[in-house]
Chains A and B, each alone.
Chain A
Amino acid sequence: MFHIYCPYCEEHREEEEFRPKGQAHIVRPKDPEACSDEEWGDYLFFRDNPRGIHHEMWVHAVGCRKFFNVTRNTVTYEILETYKMGERPRITAESLASGEIQGNVQVAGGGQQTVGASNAAVEAVKGEQA
Chain B
Amino acid sequence: MSNPVVAKARTFDTRTEANIPVESPLAYSYQRSGAPAPSAKSRVVLRERAMLGHLILRGGAIVLDEAVRAVLGFGLPARPNTLSHSEDGARSIQWLSPDEWLLIVPGGEEFELEGELRNALGDAHYAIVNVSGGQTLIELSGEKARELLMKSTPSDVHPEAFPVGKGVTAVFAKTNLILRRPTETRWELVLRRSFSDYCYRWLLDAGAEYAIGVER
Direct touching of A and B (C-beta under 8 Å)? yes
Which A residues are closer than 8 A to B by beta carbons? 8-11, 13-14, 16-17, 62-66
25 contacts between A and B (CB under 8 A): A8-B80, A8-B97, A8-B98, A9-B81, A9-B168, A10-B80, A11-B81, A13-B155, A14-B154, A16-B154, A17-B170, A17-B171, A62-B169, A62-B170, A62-B171, A63-B97, A63-B168, A64-B80, A64-B96, A64-B98, A64-B100, A64-B169, A65-B97, A65-B100, A66-B97
A63–B98 CB distance below 8 A: no
Query: Is the C-beta of B176 less than 8 angstroms from some C-beta in chain A?
Result: yes
Q: Is A62 within 8 A of B100, CB to CB? A: no
Is chain A's binding surface mostly helix, strand, loop or mixed?
loop
Residue in B closest to A13 when the chains form the complex, CB atoms: B155
Q: Which residues of B contact A64 (CB under 8 A)?
A: 80, 96-98, 100, 169
Separation of A80 and B170 alpha carbons in the complex (Å):
24
Which residue on B lies nearest to A16, using beta carbons?
A: B171
Q: Which residue of A lies closest to B79 (CB)?
A: A10
Number of chain B residues close to chain A: CB under 8 A: 13
Beta-carbon nearest neighbor of B154 in chain A: A14
Let me know if A62 and B176 touch, CB within 8 A.
yes
Q: Residues of A contacting B80 with CB < 8 Å?
A: 8-11, 64
Q: Given the complex, which residues of B lie within 8 Å of A62, measured CB to CB?
A: 169-171, 176
B residues 45-65 near A (Cβ < 8 Å) are: none
* Contacts from B to A (Cβ < 8 Å): 80-81, 96-98, 100, 154-155, 168-171, 176
Task: Looking at the assembled complex, report how far the CB atom of B10 sits from the nearest CB atom of chain A, in whole angstroms.
Answer: 24
In the assembled complex, the CB of A18 is this many whole angstroms from the nearest CB of chain B, namely 10
Could you tell me the distance between the alpha carbons of A64 and B176 in the complex, rounded to whole angstroms?
Answer: 12
Nearest-neighbour CB distance to chain A for B95, whole angstroms, equals 9
| Cα-based distance from A65 to B97 in the complex (angstroms) | 7
In order of increasing CB-CB distance, the 4 nearest A-B pairs are: A64-B97, A14-B154, A62-B176, A16-B171
Closest-by-CB residue of A relative to B171 is A16
Q: A22 to B21: give the CA distance in the assembly, Å.
A: 48
A112 to chain B, nearest CB (A): 16
Query: 20 additional contacts, CB 8 Å, given A9-B81, A11-B81, A63-B168?
Result: A8-B80, A8-B97, A9-B80, A9-B168, A11-B80, A13-B155, A14-B171, A16-B154, A16-B171, A17-B154, A17-B169, A62-B171, A62-B176, A63-B169, A64-B80, A64-B96, A64-B97, A64-B100, A64-B169, A65-B100
User: Which residues from chain A contact B97 at a C-beta distance below 8 Å?
Assistant: 8, 63-66
Question: In the complex, A16→B170 CA distance in Å?
Answer: 9
Q: Shortest Cβ distance from A13 into chain B, in angstroms?
A: 8
